[in-house]
Every structure is written in structure tokens, then in C-alpha cells.
Amino acid sequence: MIELRSACSLDRAERATLFTSAYEGYLLPFAIDEQALASMEENFDLDAEASRIAFRDGAPVGLANLGVRGEDAWIGGVGVVPAARRSGVGETLMRALHEQARERGIRRVWLEVIAENTGAFALYEKLGYRTVRDVEVWSLPAAEDQEPEAHEVSAAEAQARIRELRSGREPWQRADETVVNYGDARGLSIDDAAAVYRQPGEHVQLLQTAGPAEPLLRTLRRLGTVGVLNLPGDDPAAQALRSLGATVVVRQHEMLLAL
């Protein structure tokens, strides 16, 4: 018998432990600690009260995170521990998140699923999701180019320029709201192009870009390896990354459920 409770029923350290266990053996296994989970909750607006934990015989066996922004929501991770998989827990959690979304007046629920994860993709289609577009995770190796072509500006200035230039919607993890939530975002600008990025460690995270991307990317890779999360396959920046020798690490389907 599965019992569902708010994610608030566990403290953050317990949720982080469950998150790691629920992704054991996944296509891209990862470990997350309390600090990293706190960062995810803040930056991606994950709502612990709306998120759900699945319990079986009193023990947590699965979790589903829901991010909330106005009339939009985002599935920020759904996982089930190995011993409880293939028993309907994931579907039960997803349906519970949809109910929470409806109660909060959400009209659209977004998610991404790795292209090779055919089981999850089939479940999401069963639940009414449709594929909106394919997105890719890129990695551009660090390199010493000529002198930087772009100059530093404030993140706010760069983001304002990006809003003027871009033609498509940013995915949740790189949306304007996410950029604002990051306290360490920085900006680059050159002629008719701009970028917003952050560098929390040795690697650079490119958050947003618009306009000709190649000079921005050449400037950024002087700082370290550049990662770009969920870039649409038809984004002009994808061609610039390819021409500079970047590789696609993961391909995902971005999916949408209209409530």
C-alpha cells in the first residue's frame, strides 16, 4: 500500500538521501546532498509543500518535485528506489503532482525526459504529455583563444539585451526567473549579441545567449569548460557550439501537459 505525503514530511537531508537512492541505476545516476538540494529548491522554485513523497510500509520509496511559477509548473525530478520500481509508484506520484498543480491554478506542466528513457517517455505520453521540442546538453572544452572578443557587463544588462534579441522560450532551468534566482550570474556583450553565465567552480554554466554566439563562446571557454543545459536543437547557438568542437552529452524531449 502506497501512502503519499508532502515532501515537507521529510527534512531536506532526508529528501536528499532519498533523491540519490531514487536515481540509483538511472541512465545518468547522480548523488545530491542537502546543500545541492537547497540550491535546486531555491533556483528552480521547487515547492516542497506541493512536491510528494511515496511511502510503503512507513519507509520512503519515491519522490516527485514540483516547481511552481505563476500558471506554469515543472517536474523537477521523479524517482523511485530500485526495490519499488515497476509497481506503479512513479505514475501515482505524477498524478499526485498534477492534482497539486490543479489546486494551485496551474495551467501548464513542463518536464524533460532523456531520449533513451523510453519507459518514462511512454508513461508521460499515457498521462497526456506531448513533445514540444528536443533539447540538448552541451559541453565545450576550455581553450586559450585570442584576446576576449566580448566584454563583461552586468547580468541584468545582458539579460535585457537577450530579451530583445531572442525568438524562443527558455527552458525552466535557464528561464529568466532562474537567472534572477542565481545570485552570481554575470553578463557578456558584443555588438548584437549577449550572454548570461555563472562560474560556481572550475566550469562555466552558460545560462542564456542571443545573437551570434561564437564570439561569446570563445570568450567563455577561456575561463573553463562551458556547459549548456537543454539548448533547443534548432537554436543558432547549437551550430556555433558544434563548429567550436563542443559535444552533446545528453538529448532530451521537452514535454508539456495542458491542464
- Which of 10, 24, 40, 73 is CA-nearest to residue 256? 73
- Per the prediction, the chain carries an average pLDDT of 96
Judge whether residue 131 has pLDDT over 90: yes
In DSSP terms, 111 is beta-bridged to 255
What confidence tier does 139 reach under pLDDT thresholds 50, 70, 90? very high
Q: What is the pTM of this model?
A: 0.95
Q: What is the DSSP letter of 176?
A: H
- pLDDT tier for residue 217 given thresholds of 50, 70 and 90: very high
pLDDT at residue 146 above 80? no
Residue 27 is predicted with a pLDDT of: 85
By percentage, how much of the chain surpasses pLDDT 70? 99
Q: How many residues does the chain have?
A: 259
Nearest by Cα to 179 from 142, 205, 151: 205
Residue range 23-57, pLDDT digits in tens: 999 888 788 999 999 999 999 999 999 999 999 99
Question: Smallest Cα–Cα separation from 39: which of 242, 246, 205, 235?
Answer: 205
Q: Could you give phi then psi for residue 207, rounded to 5 degrees? A: -90, -45
pLDDT of residue 29: 73
